[in-house]
Amino acid sequence: MERYNFSYNNLTLCASELSDEIFRTAFIGSLNSCPIAANSDLFRRKTSKHIGLKLSLAVSLSTVFLLVGLLCLAFGCRRQTVVWEANKHQSVSKEEQNISGPFSFQTDSTTWVADVKVATSVPVVIFEKPLLNITFSDLLSATSHFDRGTLLAEGRFGPVYRGFLPGGIHVAVKVLVHVSTMTDQEVARELEYLGRIRHPNLVPLTGYCLAGDQRIAIYDYMENGNLQNLLHDLPLGISRADDWSTDTWEEDNTNGIQNVSSEGLLTTWRFRHKIALGTARALAFLHHGCSPSIIHRDVKASSIYLDSCLEPRLSDFGLINGEEDDVPHWSPGYVPPEFYEPETGPPTLKSDVFGYGVVLFELITGKKPIGDDYSEEKESSLVSWVRGLVRKNQCAVAIDPKIRGTGSETEMEEALRIGYLCTADLPMKRPSMHQIVGLLKDIEPVVYQ
């Protein structure tokens, strides 16, 4: 550049490689205009920065997507395993439930058969929860296939089992082995009617199932057993009462019954009067509050249950027996005297009144209807023994020692006289259940606050 001079040629050039001195002296009048790309240092610097940023972003995103993918894969595998296990159990359950019938079950006294081909095909009707999809297979599960371990009792209608239905429904399942030959439609109509009957002192019918020719009634489970157990067999399943005089029974915090001290709830006159009055109200409702009137036909201590609140509830009302409706099936010790006659009519409301009178005697004396120790009178039944004492004005002799001193003996003696009226030889001389409720309310123990 020392030998050439390009001044005043109006040149436009990129003088990035020329020194400032040469450009001022040899290129006078020329324009120095370099494109940005021509600055190699600047170009290389920005390219490197952008590439590093993009590379960092790509690595970060790849790592995130990899972690998300691994989590989804793990969750999917776990879910698939759970679903497979659930399907496996469901498949096993369906295989068990779909075993072909008929189903045969045996107790100590009877064998009964449910002529059902597929257990899941037979519905169970639950009155207050019609949307529950319950079938005979649920009854099988609830009672461990009607295992003897779930057997509560064997009554005149058939065996009774305990179980839990879906939805946590605690029930007593009564198999009506000894029932009439009514059609399924007639039985369903009868049970639907009984299911609508509600009273605080009646055991409610929860539902039913028609399993082939077998009819099954489902009741609310009564947690505290029946009066028969309470008075004679003890509530905790003890079959002997050799030394019960020092034991009593009381309500605990869970509404159950437990053994406590010598002054407990169930050995008080007040509690036994409560059972007597509640049972009388139940019968009065069946006799006078239903249309047509319902005759119980077998009023006895084992038909009276205690619920979780220790309220008395009468069971087995309205069920049809094996033969005709007018054929009585009284339990020993509860048979009205008119049914000992060669020709007698069907059971009546006054037949129930007699049975109630026997129960009232049991409550006050603590003795069984037959086969108990009736002091020195050598009587063969509770009714004849107590009636004899009432006639001789010796009612105090019959009062149970366990409740003596827990209330007014005058009230207890008056209750024995009410039982005397109920057990009159002639049905026409017996009071109605409405009248009995009134008489019992007149001697209701007073609770002082």
Cα–Cα distance between 123 and 144 in angstroms, integer? Answer: 18
Cα–Cα distance measured from residue 270 to residue 275, given in angstroms and rounded to the nearest whole number? 9
Check 298, 316, 352, 400 and give the catalytic one: 298
In Å, what is the CA distance from 94 to each residue of 83, 88, 115, 139, 430? 16, 10, 19, 15, 57
Q: How far apart are CA 138 and CA 123, in angstroms?
A: 9
- Give catalytic status of residue 298 as yes or no: yes
Residue 123 DSSP symbol: B
Give the DSSP letter of residue 207: E
Which is nearest to 166 in space by CA: 216, 218, 121?
Answer: 218
How many CB atoms are located within 10 Å of the residue 346 CB? 12
Q: What's the token pair of residue 274?
A: 């409560």
Q: Nearest Cα to 423, choosing from 337, 311, 309?
A: 337
Q: From CA 161, how far away is CA 209, in angstroms rounded?
A: 14
Assess contact for 114 and 209: CB atoms under 8 A. no
Between CA 339 and CA 330 the distance in angstroms is 9
Instruction: Report the alpha-carbon distance of residue 231 to residue 266 in Å, rounded.
Output: 9
CA distances from 6 to 33, 34, 328 (A): 16, 18, 142
**Residue 428 Cα to chain centre, angstroms:** 42
Q: What's 251's DSSP letter?
A: E
Q: What number of residues does the chain have?
A: 449
DSSP state of 100: B
Interhelix angle 269-288/409-422, nearest 10 degrees: 30
Report helix, strand or coil for 366.
Answer: coil
- 80 C-beta neighbours (distance < 10 Å), count: 10
Q: Which residues are catalytic?
A: 298
